[in-house]
A and B are shown apart, each in its own frame.
Chain A
């Protein structure tokens, strides 16, 4: 073992790398060398810490000091003060917004207090490029246990009893899925890891792959053993270069260590993994579409049955699991099904990772036990709404999900509760919206997405999403009438009932849930031709308050169509006939003299 007395962990997730965390690593290393402590303090680039809002993050062990918003130029001070003199650098510690005091230990931060990290257990803790570090955290122990002392059926039973359900959106019991695949006899079976994360606003799979690739490799091998497959495929988005790099390195290292390949751990079980690359199609998250894409075809879904467990990749029995689902597998085997089943709610066990984003103070990746309420997630962990604005809605489940409102905040989050409320778990995107967000416009945003991503195979989805998005456009432009709202509802139900796959069947959810919870807002658009949130540009009128206007001419100069007139130091006026409602004057005015109605 090394002689390192201290460790400096630098977040190497995509968000932090975008903010130059790699330069922080090299600066810290050279500063340590400069003070002659290069052999006593180890600088590690780890996976995502989750606290993306305040990235880049640097954590110092063993004293667990958590530095936020670190810049490459701060490296010298961190080394000279913290490492050499043992004094914490106060200005880089997290500032608790309520208590107005600095918090040094991440354990005492509200963001982490209510979290429980199972799937993300190693993210931000180990160097993802080193298999030894994964092994030091009991890595590959579960695989060893499975192949040497358990029968495949025993492995399946543990997963079944744990109550683990698919984290990719469907929520299907994982153990049951494995059992189906194990029952079919074939000369070749496949384990597929679905890493084609396509939900806009969700990035947990990417963070797990970047931060803890070996947990996925180990889990796939365990699944291979359980269902009798010798080949694994990871279907991953080509847009995730860092995750691909880490996974390729991980697979290579595992092979060299005898943890993948022929006769794993001296047994007669052989298993190996290859990567295949997606090319950007949301529908490929659906397992039959994914399999067609892996075969080099258009990623169009087919009707089930036959399920992939019977006839999947090249017509062979195939088990498809999502990344987060797999990340839970090794630890369930290690700690036992009773431990896992003891966490969560009656029908949803364990934890769920959410990508918390939007108008919230603490954007980031969080993991909480099932059954945590939305209020706890948004206010305790998320730190509430940005800029002191009022909470309006939270969108869960991505383009397939729905919007939940104030009245749903105390709902314990689990698969069934979210569906009962008209939304869904989905892959775990959680987008918070405030009073400035217009719900018909948000619904339109999602419908434009599904319209674009519809593969075109079945008519309800191909034409239906197009019509729905046209109707929403009419609403946001003030061209719709009340009857169009009824038409939207009817069309939504038809699409839900008749579309071929999950993409189409869930596509109307954003429309139905917003129509249900924000009907008044829709009515304001169609009857009064007003957008209460002030987002729909076609429905706005910009006016200048002559009392507040000081005549600085800033708005006149910024107006692209010369609709504003007025002399210097005299109130200006907007010509409504010329105004294109671009909002440039509103953004420019420093005196709050321009109002939007």
Chain B
């Protein structure tokens, strides 16, 4: 437990140093949020409050920006985060069926993490790999031209 608290303190320290290193915080909220999400993996209320205080803006404003952009998330990603392309090219080549299978196999929903923290699914607009449609990625690994039947075996490797 002590180790976790210490780890968390270090993360806040890293974020604080980053904000302090900026010559001017005017207009830099999105940059800071990118950094914070890089450090913490997500942007919980605590982190948003911290940023608001450091940058001397209201927490409501920080929340307003966080909730506006799809890249920012207030929920931690799963240990295995599956990013599925939901762009049009993938849609017409059957991405919805792949998504249904992914949900079934992992128990996660788009934008949600399973209660045990194992799987999460992130919906992407287009990853620009339309030649591989339908496509999803897990970490660095790209699964292209996937068929619904293959999903079960792919996910089994991560269970």
Contact = CB atoms under 8 A, between A and B. Distances in A.
Which of B26, B65, B132: most chain A Cβ within 10 A? Answer: B132
Interface stretch (B5-13, B83-91, B112-120): B83-91
Interface residues of B, number: 39
Contact of B29 (A297, A445, A446): A297
A19 B128 CA distance: 13
B154 interface: no
Contacts of A19: 132, 142, 144
Contacts, number: 127
Contact of B69 (A18, A279, A442): A279
Contacts of A279: 30, 33-34, 69-72
Which of B70, B87, B124: most chain A Cβ within 10 A? Answer: B87
Given A52-B129, A207-B128, A296-B65, A587 B148 contact: yes
A239 B71 contact: yes
Contacts of B15: none
B22 to A, nearest CB: 11
B87 A296 contact: no
Contact of B88 (A206, A276, A431): A431
Interface string B105-140: 000000000000000000011111111110101000
A455 B69 CA distance: 10
A238 B142 contact: no
Contacts of A281: 68-70
Nearest to B129: A15
B151 to A, nearest CB: 12
Interface in A168-205: 198-203
A357 interface: yes
A279 B137 CA distance: 19
Interface in B51-80: 64-65, 68-72
B27 A314 contact: yes
A294 interface: yes
Contacts of A294: 27
A444 B15 CA distance: 42
Contacts of A359: 92-93
Given A239-B124, A355-B130, A299 B68 contact: yes
Contacts of A201: 87-89, 126, 130
Contacts of B71: 238-239, 278-280
B109 to A, nearest CB: 15
B20 interface: no
A514 interface: no
A71 to B, nearest CB: 13
A298 interface: yes
26 contacts: A14-B127, A15-B129, A18-B137, A19-B132, A52-B129, A52-B130, A53-B131, A199-B126, A200-B86, A200-B87, A201-B126, A201-B130, A238-B34, A279-B33, A280-B70, A280-B71, A294-B27, A295-B27, A296-B26, A296-B27, A355-B89, A358-B89, A359-B93, A398-B88, A429-B88, A583-B97
The 6 closest A-B pairs by CB, nearest first: A52-B131, A203-B128, A357-B89, A279-B69, A200-B87, A296-B29
Interface of B: 26-31, 33-34, 64-65, 68-72, 86-89, 91-93, 97, 124-133, 135, 137, 142, 144, 148-149
Given A296-B29, A358-B89, 5 more contacts: A296-B30, A357-B130, A431-B88, A431-B92, A587-B148
